[in-house]
Amino acid sequence: MDKTTEKKESEKNDLTEKAWPKVVKNIYINLIWIALGMALELTGPSLQDLKDRVDSNYEEIARAVIGRSAGFFVGSFGGGFLCDRFQRHVDLILVAFLCVAAVGTFAIPWCSVLPLLWFMFVLQGMSEGVLATGAHVVILRLWGEETAPSVYSLHLSYGIGAFLSPLVAKPFLSKSSPITDDSKDGNMSLFANLSTHSPFDLQILQSTPAFETVFGALVSNITNNITHANSTSYVVSQSTIEYGYSIAGIALSVMIPFGLFFQIKRFPKVEIKIKDPTFVNIFSPGTCAEGDTVFGFKIFILLFLFYFHGIGGVEHSWGKYLFSFARESENHFSKDEAAVLNSVYWGGFCLGRISGVLFSKWVHPAVLLVIVLSGNITSSAILAFIGYRDRIVMWVFTFLFGVTVSVIFGACVAWTNHYMTVTGMAVGVLYIGTAAGGLLYQWLAGYLLQYYGPNAMMYMILACGVVAGGLFATMQFLMMTASVKDNEKDSVSDKGSKNSVNEYELVNCDEKVEDMHKEDKV
């Protein structure tokens, strides 16, 4: 008994010694995604300040923001190739693109022209694509068949970083102070502490004839950027959002030496045996559909469109423009309030990711998708028709929007895997659909917000949710039809096999009877 106990204890110690390096590296990958979520989602709360810095409107700044989706295209394809081609240097690849992501993040708030800002967003998107691919590759090699919990924790980590981003940005956003106008005397007073700012730290957001007459010289010395508002005048202090972006850039940079350490110090990895597929098998939709190329092609097209509208149109557009929607709607949130609202949204997003992990063990993916898609469409409709003018509704349903939209991506992957074989190329289709949807809808959201108001943008998001729901219903119908056909084929083949077995048994019986007659004659 003592020897047996010692043997078990030694085995446990061996497992512990092999497991802890994997856990440490898994934590490192999660920290990368927290930093990445913080850096990428700073765009939402800082969008208005970035817009002012490049002297543009919402539609123009949206052109720069979609550069991230363009970069994500390149990063997704390039990251997959690099990680497959240089399998022993995946950690080094992650380090290289952490550097690229950090450079883009540091530089964004310093860009004064749109083309340069667009290029920095492209760098961020390219890094996001490579880091996302590389992180999944590392986790797959670490845990093998036990990858699922780590993958869920990876996506949860991004949500945590996104939750922190508005809190990081909030202290450094520009502040507004009202100007009082005494119409009888023609006098104006500024409720702003001018002594704490340099002359160029202020922007006057309204100009009236009386103001220009009395204070024309002062205005020319203070600022050359005068914007006309509808009714209320504000003095806006210059933002210091570069500090927020610097915090996110430092968070990315801190991960770099750890990546170099993991590249030099090779921790135990799970060996994954993969067959060497042909070029045709990699790109053939039939590979995921048990050889049925036509059916696989139909599902791939529908999955592409589902992620195009459901993730690129709903999740990405809302995440980037929630802050601006809160500011421009009839609720007129202050920047501090809008930043907190952003955190509420990402808090709901994290809760939804955690709930998805728990419910996925007991709820069928199709049922889960029906629930979250219905909840998301309902939340979008209430925000579009009521939330834009009711603050309480805005707070509550922004949170519920985050809870429901966060489950869609993972639930659809699980649903697809339930009916088909999910390969790397299949996952690539999902990411490509997401990036393509982000390219179109993030620009369209900015265009609608600029020229038609915040409600028009919300109607667009609602329409995307409805289209995604219709696409899922179509995919579910096709899958159920295919399953019925497969069952019919299986039943026919089973009957055929039973008949052949019975015939075989009858033949054997006849042969045995003939042999017995021969023996009797002898």
Token digits for 302? Answer: 């529908």
Neighbours of 61 (CB within 10 A): 25
For residue 319, give both structure tokens: 């995440």
Element (H, E) at 346: helix 335-359
The CA R_g of the chain, rounded to the nearest whole Å, is 30
Q: What is the pLDDT along the chain (522 residues), one digit of tens a residue?
A: 555 555 555 555 554 556 777 888 889 999 999 999 999 989 888 888 898 888 888 888 888 888 888 898 888 777 777 877 777 888 899 999 999 999 999 999 999 899 999 999 999 999 988 898 788 778 777 876 566 677 777 888 888 998 899 889 888 888 765 544 444 344 444 434 333 333 334 443 444 443 343 334 333 443 444 344 344 444 445 778 899 999 999 999 999 999 898 888 765 554 444 445 554 555 555 555 566 677 777 888 999 999 999 998 898 889 888 988 998 889 889 888 988 998 899 999 989 888 877 777 788 889 989 999 999 999 999 999 999 899 999 999 999 999 999 888 878 877 887 777 666 667 767 878 888 898 899 889 989 988 998 899 999 999 999 999 999 999 999 888 876 445 545 554 454 444 444 443 434 444 444 554 444 444
* Bridge partners, residue 328, by sequence: none
The total of other beta-carbon atoms located within 10 Å of residue 58's CB is 22
Conformational region of residue 265, where left means phi above 0, alpha means psi within -120 to 50, and beta covers everything else: beta
Q: Are 209 and 191 in contact (CB under 8 A)?
A: no
User: How many helices (H) and strands (E) would you count in the chain?
Assistant: 17, 4
The whole-number pLDDT of residue 469 equals: 95
Going by C-alpha positions, the residue among 376, 396, 278 that lies closest to residue 331 is 396
Which residues, including other chains, have CB under 8 Å from residue 225's CB and lie 6 or more apart? 55, 203, 204
pLDDT at 197: 37
Residue reference for tokens 């850039």: 249
Pairing of strands 187-190, 202-204: unpaired
Please report how many Cα atoms fall inside a 13 Å half-sphere around the Cα of residue 497, on the Cβ side. Answer: 6
Query: What are the structure tokens assigned to 226, written together?
Result: 């005068």
**447 vs 61: CA distance, rounded Å:** 9
pLDDT tens column, 239-264 = 788 999 999 999 999 999 998 988 88
Residue with tokens 């149109």: 313
pLDDT score for 285: 57
The residue among 249, 246, 226, 248 whose CA lies nearest residue 236 is: 226
Helix (H, G, I), strand (E, B) or coil at 478: helix
* Angstrom distance (rounded) from CA 467 to CA 476: 14
C-alpha distances (whole Å) from 277 to each of 282, 311, 345 are 6, 30, 42
Is residue 59 within 8 A of residue 451, CB to CB? The reply is: yes
At 237, which helix (H) or strand (E)? strand 234-237
Contact between 369 and 427 (Cβ < 8 Å): no
Looking at the DSSP bridge assignments, the partners of residue 9 are none
List CB contacts of 290: < 8 A, sequence separation 6 or more.
421
Asked if 179 and 189 touch (Cβ cutoff 8 Å), the reply is: yes
- pLDDT given for residue 425 in this prediction: 64
Strand ranges for 358-423 from DSSP E? none
Rounded-to-integer distance, Cα 365 and Cα 370, Å? 9
- pTM comes to 0.70
Residues 83-100 as b or e (16 or more Cβ within 10 Å = b):
beeeeeebbbbbbbbbeb
Q: Tell me, what's the pLDDT at 243?
A: 93
Tens-place pLDDT, residues 115-141: 999 999 999 999 988 898 788 778 777
Whether the CB-CB separation of 375 and 400 falls below 8 Å is answered with yes
Beta-bridge mates of residue 190: 179
Domains of the chain: 17-172+241-263 (1.20.1250.20), 176-237 (no CATH), 282-486 (1.20.1250.20)
Kind and range of the H or E run holding 470: helix 454-521
Percent helix, strand, coil in the chain (nearest 5)? Answer: 80, 5, 15
Residue 422: the pLDDT is 63
Angle at 403 between CA 334 and CA 366, to 5 degrees: 150
What's the N-to-C CA distance of the chain in angstroms? 66
Q: What is the pLDDT of residues 188-224, one digit of tens each?
A: 444 343 333 333 344 434 444 433 433 343 334 434 4
Q: Contact 388/331 with Cβ under 8 angstroms?
A: yes
Contact status, residue 412 vs residue 500, Cβ threshold 8 Å: no
Amino acid sitting at position 77: F
Rounded CA-CA distance 447/440 in Å is 11
- Torsion over CA of 434, 435, 436 and 439, rounded to 10 degrees? 120
Residue 254 CA to chain centroid, in angstroms? Answer: 23
Q: Kind and range of the H or E element at 51?
A: helix 43-53
